[in-house]
């Protein structure tokens, strides 16, 4: 028996990187997965890798109407929604001085507005299904640290961190069986991190599963945390911020 048998899980930004790892790991443990992304080819490839009746829906996480449609299609296809992983994101390598207004608004539209829409419409689909549900918002260690060259990204991830706590307490006070937690990966070996690193210089080497040494983490490190928070094993964890960074933000 899988750890998330019978759960319907929607993952944004699932065409590659962390979203793909999440989808595959959840499907391995029995979930029916809905993968969304603007990248159709990558999203469909993720669905093939995940199997277990996973489906792909093209989705712009910054678009409110897309969110309404994706949630409706998920419930229509699978009958319910149990888990939402707000994972879609981008990184712009710009400081506060070099970030343009257009870049700022674009970053916030995906990672701040997108998480707002996801939580709003996800709660609407989850609150009456009578089952334990979980919203997992993907933030970053950038929400804790001063990264001058990731200004818009860090601002959006800080908003995700704060929104998560408000959502968690709202659901608790309303009596909904919905938990909401944020996860905060550090450097993980994904295409997004590789792209950002290419603009700054060579990234550290992947850790190759040999902590406590330095280096990049692997997508599976995040996916295993998402699996735990998706499962009822984490039923007493709510409003938490979980670092997945091998101690990065506490290094002396």
Does 42 score more than 50 pLDDT? yes
Does residue 3 lie within any of the structural domains? no
How far does CA 140 lie from the centroid of its chain?
10
What range does the domain containing 30 cover?
8-250
* Phi–psi pair at 179, nearest 5 degrees: -100, 155
Does residue 195 lie within any of the structural domains? yes
User: For residue 193, what pLDDT band results from cuts at 50, 70 and 90?
Assistant: low
Distance CA 114, CA 46 (A): 21
Within the chain, where are the H helices? 17-28, 40-50, 64-78, 101-108, 114-126, 151-174, 191-198, 219-230
Does 91 score more than 50 pLDDT? yes
User: For residue 77, what pLDDT band results from cuts at 50, 70 and 90?
Assistant: very high
Q: How many domains is the chain partitioned into structurally?
A: 1
Eight-class DSSP state of 143: G
Cα-Cα-Cα-Cα dihedral sign, residues 196, 207, 134, 85: positive
Q: What pLDDT is recorded for position 81?
A: 98
Does residue 82 lie within any of the structural domains? yes
Considering only CA atoms, which of 140, 130, 52 is closest in space to residue 89?
140
Please say if 153 is a catalytic residue: yes
User: How much is the average pLDDT of 82-106?
Assistant: 97
Does 209 score more than 60 pLDDT? no
Does 202 score more than 50 pLDDT? no
Does residue 2 lie within any of the structural domains? no
Residue 125 has, within 13 A of its CA and on its CB side, a CA count of: 28
Do the beta carbons of residue 149 and residue 200 sit within 8 Å? yes
Does residue 93 lie within any of the structural domains? yes
Marked catalytic residue, from 121, 147, 153, 176: 153
Q: Would you state the structure tokens that stand for residue 84, as one six-digit string?
A: 């939402």
Q: Would you state the structure tokens that stand for residue 90, as one six-digit string?
A: 């981008």
Eight-class DSSP state of 62: T
Report the CATH number at residue 79.
3.40.50.720
Strand, coil or helix: 182: strand
Does 245 score more than 60 pLDDT? yes
pLDDT tens digits, one per residue of 105-162: 999 999 999 999 999 999 999 999 999 999 999 999 999 999 899 999 999 999 999 9
Distance CA 224, CA 17 (A): 14
User: How much is the average pLDDT of 236-241?
Assistant: 98
């Amino acid at each position: 028996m899988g750890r998330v048998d019978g759960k319907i899980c929607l993952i944004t930004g699932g065409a590659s990187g962390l979203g793909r790892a999440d989808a595959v790991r959840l499907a391995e443990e029995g979930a029916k997965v809905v993968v969304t992304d603007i990248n159709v080819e990558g999203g469909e490839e993720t669905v093939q890798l995940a199997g277990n009746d996973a489906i792909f829906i093209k989705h712009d996480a910054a678009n409110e109407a897309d969110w309404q449609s994706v949630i409706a299609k998920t419930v229509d296809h699978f009958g319910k929604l149990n888990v939402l992983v707000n994972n879609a994101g981008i990184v712009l390598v710009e400081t506060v001085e070099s970030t343009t207004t257009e870049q700022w608004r674009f970053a916030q539209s995906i990672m701040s507005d997108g998480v707002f829409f996801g939580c709003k419409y996800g709660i609407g689909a989850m609150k009456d299904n009578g089952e334990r549900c979980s919203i997992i918002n993907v933030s970053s260690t950038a929400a804790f640290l001063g990264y001058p060259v990731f200004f818009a990204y860090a601002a959006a991830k800080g908003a995700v961190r704060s929104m998560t706590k408000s959502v968690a307490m709202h659901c608790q006070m309303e009596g909904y069986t919905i938990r909401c937690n944020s996860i905060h990966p550090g450097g993980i070996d994904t295409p997004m991190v590789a792209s950002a690193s290419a603009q700054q210089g060579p990234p550290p080497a992947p850790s190759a599963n040999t902590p406590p040494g330095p280096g990049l983490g692997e997508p599976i490190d995040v996916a295993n945390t998402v699996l735990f928070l998706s499962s009822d094993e984490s039923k007493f964890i709510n409003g938490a911020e979980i670092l997945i960074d091998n101690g990065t933000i506490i290094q002396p």
